[in-house]
Amino acid sequence: MKPVKPYQQIPIQDWGEPLVPIPLEQFAVESPHPYKKLGAPYGSLSPYYLRQGVLDGLIEAQAELKRQYPDWRIKIFDAYRPIAVQQFMVDYTFAEVVRARELDSKTISQAQREAIWEEVYQLWAVPSLDPTTPPPHSTGAAIDITLVDAEGQTLDLGSAIDELSARSHPDYYGNSTTKVEQNYHARRQLLEQVMLKGGFRRHPGEWWHFSLGDQMWAWQCNQQTSTNSYTAYYGRVETEN
């Protein structure tokens, strides 16, 4: 059974903003795009699009980063993700877990299969076509990012993006006593700080994932208020960019 996550109970009243291209010259970019490289079916669609309000927030976050570290940049790993790509990546991740554990997908037990799917859905949203439960990236309101330093080097934040492990949790290194791991935590905190300046909220289980205006964002905002008055204003994008 596919999980229903708490944020998916948030109602959506879409503002109807179109997807707009991210001005990539203002940021660093993962190239080639990681999911396209795997064969994800984008077709004529581009992953480097966001809703206008989300892009405005990202530009503000970049400006805040530059105020603190003038030569650093936000690096964009992924942004808009069509449902077909979400499905591809969910299936790909399942297959990778099976391969890493040296299992045979044709002979694994139902219990093993269900346990692996449970792991996969801890990281990946269900590729739902239901307009009331869209995957965050399919709304154009979520983005996966990291940091690049003055030399153009991607900073190490303690785990790979999309890593299926406890290290992906934002505060995994919060109580570390080693200098290297303290640096990982400090960089994750910096990333969250600048994104908060742009109005974003970070995924509670993924240090790299931020959203603004989608169901997860509204749910997180409601956790911080007593009124629970936030609703989502970006739902699944219905038109091609």
- Residue 235's CB: how many other CB atoms inside 10 A? 23
Which residue has 């080097």 as its token pair?
Answer: 153
Catalytic residue, from 118, 163, 206, 240: name it.
206
Can you give the C-alpha Rg of the chain in angstroms? 18
Is 192 part of the annotated catalytic residue set? Answer: no
Q: Is 133 exposed, middle or buried (0-12, 13-18, 19+ CB in 10 A)?
A: buried
3-state secondary structure of 181: helix
Residues in the chain: 241
**What residues act catalytically?**
206
